[in-house]
Amino acid sequence: MKSKLDLNLLIVLILLDKHRQIKSVAKVLGKTESAVSKHLAKLREQLKDPLFVRVGNDFEPSLYMKKILPIISLGVETIDSISKCHYFDPLSYEEDIVIALPNIMQYWVGNNIVFDVIKTFPKAKVILVSWDEKSDVAMSNGDIDIGVHYFNSDLPKSIYQQGLGRMLPKVVTNLSLKGHSFKQLTELPFFWLTTNGASHKKPSILKALNKNEVYLKTVGEVDTVSCLLDILANSQSATILHCLNDTLEGFNITDLPNYNIEEQPLIVINYRLANRDTPLTQLLAKIIVKNFTK
């Protein structure tokens, strides 16, 4: 007797056992959450069992599912090899794509990343958010697809940190201070851009400056680049920013003497380790690398 079981849907069971969330399975397969839910419903009907039961935010396998999963997985080398072999079409991908970047990185490359993602995934909605203290949890829950930040040894091992590079810090002032020496600039009052989600709140460059017996007068902190630049434009003050470019329209940029780029914090691309080899993650990572290294 011919079986009525749709073998093409069994990948949903294997991936749901791995990820435990419909949203994550949908992203791996490049399908909508609704489509994955329909696949699961069809399998439940065919196998006459709930297969997976929602417990809190996750799906847990039924006793029957635990029993048959090894049989379903037989012949499959790894879960990742399944997702690699599954056809993924970025042109038809319709799920939201959420990218988290610190404010300063949004300022330098945020718009280019958004445009490139829209071009690659024309049917998806791109959501650019700021990386903060809760972003790692949101990423673990599948609410953030990919992000960029400084390397953080405190992040859970479930979040993969792909090395991206380093940026040299530079002193930024308004144009009226062009021509001032580095020593003269260090005598100005300094404003700092706070970095949400960093493993330390104090600007890392201060430690290096203090080591070289350079001590700055801090008079304020802000958490948006636009506000910081507005303050600099209207005052005789300075800041130090990690810069992707050597020029910033309307402002003067001065190099810090004797600072090795290898001493600067490593910038990384963050994403779930479980999604490391999925087509969606690989395409997004490629777009980010392109915009940070061009």
270 confidence band (pLDDT: 50, 70, 90)? very high
Mind listing the pLDDT tens digit for each residue in 111-139? 999 999 999 999 999 999 999 889 999 99
Tokens representing residue 237 in the block: 């003050």
78 confidence band (pLDDT: 50, 70, 90)? very low
Mind listing the pLDDT tens digit for each residue in 167-203? 888 999 999 999 999 999 999 999 999 876 554 556 6
Residue 106, SS3 per DSSP: helix
Q: What is the pLDDT of residue 260?
A: 67
Mind listing the pLDDT tens digit for each residue in 214-265? 889 999 999 899 999 999 999 999 999 988 877 888 999 998 887 766 777 8
Q: What is the pLDDT of residue 10?
A: 81
Q: For the chain, what percent of residues have pLDDT higher than 70?
A: 88
1 confidence band (pLDDT: 50, 70, 90)? very low
Q: Is the pLDDT of residue 276 over 60?
A: yes
Q: What is the pLDDT of residue 85?
A: 52
- Cα end-to-end span (Å), the chain: 60
Mind listing the pLDDT tens digit for each residue in 37-70? 999 999 898 889 999 999 988 999 999 999 888 8
What residue has token string 């580095």?
182
**pTM to 2 decimal places:** 0.70
User: Alpha-carbon distance 66 to 34, whole Å?
Assistant: 24
Whether domain 90-166+266-293 has CATH 2.40.37.10: the reply is no
Domain boundaries, the chain: 7-84, 90-166+266-293, 169-255
Q: What is the pLDDT of residue 81?
A: 52
Q: What is the pLDDT of residue 199?
A: 46
Tokens representing residue 26 in the block: 């949908």
Do residues 173 and 233 make contact, with C-beta atoms less than 8 angstroms apart? no
Architecture label for domain 7-84: Orthogonal Bundle (1.10)
Architecture label for domain 169-255: 3-Layer(aba) Sandwich (3.40)
Q: Which residue has the higher pLDDT, 257 or 36?
A: 36
Nearest to 193 by CA among 242, 158, 153, 121: 242
Q: Which residue has the higher pLDDT, 27 or 280?
A: 280
Q: What is the pLDDT of residue 7?
A: 60
Q: What is the pLDDT of residue 162?
A: 96
Query: Do 7-84 and 90-166+266-293 share a fold?
Result: no
Half-sphere exposure of 208 (CA within 13 A, CB side): 16
Q: What is the pLDDT of residue 194?
A: 85
Q: Is the pLDDT of residue 2 over 50?
A: no
